[in-house]
Each structure stands twice: as structure tokens, then as C-alpha cells.
Amino acid sequence: MSRFVKNPRLEEELSQLPGLIQAAHDIAERTAQIARRIAPRGDSPAGEHYTDMIDVEIASEKGRPVVRVVANKDTSVHIEFGTSDTPVFAPLRRAAMSVGRLK
């Protein structure tokens, strides 16, 4: 019988693979494009400019690269999750689900 032993450096080694960050960035860009397309537009200042808030960032956490799709404005949380006066639009969540990376 074989026994699985986890490589303690797996995440570090994966993050160093050529093309992995580019592949993650490509998926994030596709997700951001979809989020911009389905984001609300309208008369509200947040709605008019929300698509400009959506961006892709590459950061480093614990020495490892991380690729994210973000909405860089305080009001973006209201568009994503809604308020007592506005509905939930969830463009980031819906975009991530549409590319099949979030279930």
C-alpha cells in the first residue's frame, strides 16, 4: 500500500513554475472584463464609474505571488453586496463563477 506524503514546499514550488503567474493573470483579466461588462451603469456616481474601479493586481503574500480581481473603491462593496437601498449586483462574484473558478 502506498502512502501520500505532502510536499511542504508545494505552494512555493508551484509559484515558481514558468507561466503559472501569466496563466493566473490571463484568467483574472478575463474575469475582470466580464465583471466590467455586467457591472451596473446608470445615474448614480458609483454606477457610472464602477467599471473603472475593477482591476487586476499582482501582489505578494508571504513571498508568493497572488493574482486578484479587485474593485478599488470604498463604494464598490455597496455594488457587490447591496445596501438597504440598492440591490446586490455582485459583478465580481458572478464574473468569477462564469469563468468556472468559483463554485
This prediction has a pTM of: 0.76
50 or 6, higher pLDDT: 6
Residue 72's pLDDT is what? 84
Q: How confident is the model at residue 40 (pLDDT cuts 50, 70, 90)?
A: confident
Average pLDDT over residues 56-73: 86
Please measure the distance between the N-terminal and C-terminal CA atoms of the chain and give it in whole angstroms.
34
Query: Where along the chain do its domains lie?
Result: 10-98
